[in-house]
Amino acid sequence: MKLRDAPSARPALWRSLPCPAAELRLDLVLSSGQTFRWWESSPGAWTGVLGGHVWTLRQDRDRLWYTVYGEEEEDGHPAEATKLDGAETDRILRDYFQLDVGLAALYRAWGAADPLFRKVADDFPGVRVLRQDPVECLLSFICTSNNHISRITAMIERLCQAFGRRLCCLDARPFHAFPSLSALAGADAEARLRALGFGYRAKFVSGSARAVAEGLGAEGLHRLRAAPYAEARRVLCALPGVGAKVADCVCLMALDKAEAVPVDTHVWRIARERYGAALGGRSLTPRAHQEIGDFFRGLWGPRAGWAQAVLFCADLRKGQEMAGSRERAGGGRGRDSCVGGPP
């Protein structure tokens, strides 16, 4: 299996969905800190793990192309795995990218309400919010506080290799499923995570995995999708290492709370510098999170979290370009922008 296979080269292995660039830009969505399981395996092609399977995605002007790899064989026999038919893989991708939400119409509405959004959005079409597995989203975002994307991605990769089930190997690169709650709730999980370089986050990852496993369970976490935003946020904030920012990320990206606006240093700076919103005092307190979220909900409406994702992506890209310029000028190593701030 070669990641370089293009739709035209192996048509029998590929399927596609109608999806214009105005509705989805893979390069913006998969690299902007919403998820940490995808990498650009060849120009324009993104390979990663979704739903316990390995996928490669690419797009042209009006279609999203994809292929799903089977699990590797063990002792000459195919590994046990759920076989996905075309209808199921289509459904998984539509759900993951929330393709039933018309993004172009939302852009127009946000732009009409907000000239600053309209100015930025022209250069960043197709930025939409993913609908992720709640367990994976929760435990991944616990790792984001005071951190940056490349380091978070490497941490999540080590986490999956150490605790997750191996799925397959492509071009000598192994791929693993995200670990189960039970795997990360074990007695030795914190020590193993510390050995993997998680630092103080090791306690929070293993502690939250244990708290969910012994309390709500994975199914209970999924059921928060049907709960009011305030209730879901309250439940999440009771978990180890979960503050307002992480809770809002999980609410927005896994629990169907489109009104959730995750507030970190990026968003705080956007609110203060671009909108002149003197909100929340001098630090990111719970009150600041609430006031800034309310400000943007008032401006953008019930999908304020989606609009915020566009501005966050634009701000992130600007920071990455500035870091790249400094690296080229000074010969030093660049660092991609931080997605963290207080948990």
d(CA 147, CA 119): 29
CB atoms within 10 A of CB 326: 14
Alpha helices by DSSP H, 61-147? 86-96, 103-113, 115-121, 134-141
d(CA 128, CA 81): 30
What 8-state DSSP symbol labels residue 283? S
Three-point CA angle 268, 269, 272, nearest 5°: 85
Enter the pTM of the model: 0.89
Annotated catalytic residue within 119, 245, 257, 318? 245
Catalytic residue at 245?
Answer: yes
Task: Give the domain ranges of the chain.
Answer: 11-99, 134-259
pLDDT value of position 270: 82
Amino acid at the residue 31 = S
- The beta strands (E) that lie in the chain are given as 15-18, 38-42, 45-50, 53-59, 63-69, 73-74, 77-78, 166-170, 173-176
pLDDT value of position 4: 44
Residues of the chain with pLDDT under 50: 1-12, 75-81, 332-338, 341-343
Residue 334 C-alpha from the chain's centroid: 22
pLDDT value of position 327: 55
134-259: which CATH number, 1.20.1280.50, 3.40.50.970, 1.10.340.30, 2.60.120.1440?
Answer: 1.10.340.30
Paired tokens of 160: 């999956």
Residue 135 C-alpha from the chain's centroid: 12
Indicate if 134-259 has the same CATH topology as 11-99: no
pLDDT value of position 139: 98
d(CA 269, CA 299): 17
What 8-state DSSP symbol labels residue 13? G
Q: What is the CA radius of gyration of the chain?
A: 20
The architecture (CATH level 2) of 11-99 comes to: 2-Layer Sandwich (3.30)
pLDDT value of position 288: 83
- DSSP reduced 3-state for 92: helix
Looking up tokens 């953008």 gives 300
